[in-house]
Amino acid sequence: MERATQVPRRARELGIVVGSRETGPLNAITDVAGVRVGHTTLVEGDDIRTGVTAIVPDQLDHRRALPAGLFVGNGHGKMVGSTQLAELGEIETPVLLTATLSTFRVADALVSHMLGRPGWESVQSLNPIVAETNDGYLSDIRARPITAEHVYAALETASAGLPAEGSVGAGTGTGALGFKGGIGTASRKGAVTVGVLVQSNFSGVLRVLGVPFPGRPAEQIGNSCVIVVATDGRFDARQLSRLARRAVFAMGRVGAEFAGGSGDYAIAFSTAAPDGPLLPEAELEPAFAAVLEAVEEALLNSLFMATTTTGFGGHTKIAVSHERVLRALRL
């Protein structure tokens, strides 16, 4: 069963402002033009709390690849396509997130989706990008309930609006920092726009603007985080890898303990037109700061927007109390 103890609200709706930089209009990864997000959420019976989240750059409609970088904070995870991404510095497909043992079915469905697109009839090699965290505490992960139709639905319903956050899509069954985790997003706007989306499922002690909020001790199953960074800045793969590195660093701001059993991955990609000049190295400093702020806020959104969830085996993950946080912060 599901228990709703409070209305989900984003960090800024609660008066919690991370950093000083301007956000995009939606404060979401979809503030990067051409980027859409879709979810399929599976809540079935007492035991299934899982799903799929798709980050879809429309630029792939007319370009077969986008520049991209990868950073692996700790590699105890499954990311299909990671070695080719690191080698060639590009992505060829949308980025999909799901649960650990559903990764491979999702990757297969993503390949089918891409090969079925008009103009792709002669393609003989494709590198799908699918990442995961382990939602086995709240969902029967061995059931592997994700089907191709669930993947297609997430891709086909992807929207440029404000993505749903919290206990949705690939974040339906996740937990982070002793509380119910999930999907979160945020953005920063300056000389370039940076948008991020996170799938939070890692251990540590939650920190909000530096103030600790201990939750339940983490279970051994599922201590991971996937972060997707999109930007309209004209950065190359090496520079994007540096942005991805800062995304993982930002986990420390909210209290991640970077446990040895954690799979902490960040992908950064650019939607900029390929014929423009690369941005100078000096432009990386404000982009670094934008990533750090946006990831911190997205991680908080993933918790504040989550709802208390009971699932597999009667296990429960409790949403962090907004009242408790605001009282401690005196907001």
Annotated catalytic residues are 224, 262, 264
Residues 57, 256 contacting (CB under 8 angstroms): no
The residues near 65 (Cβ < 8 Å, ≥ 6 apart) are 88, 90, 91, 92
Using only C-alpha atoms, the chain has a radius of gyration, in whole angstroms, of 18
Tell me which residue of 194, 224, 243, 195 sits closest to 89, measured CA to CA.
243
| Structure tokens, 238 | 């090496």
Distance from C-alpha of 243 to C-alpha of 183, rounded to nearest angstrom: 20
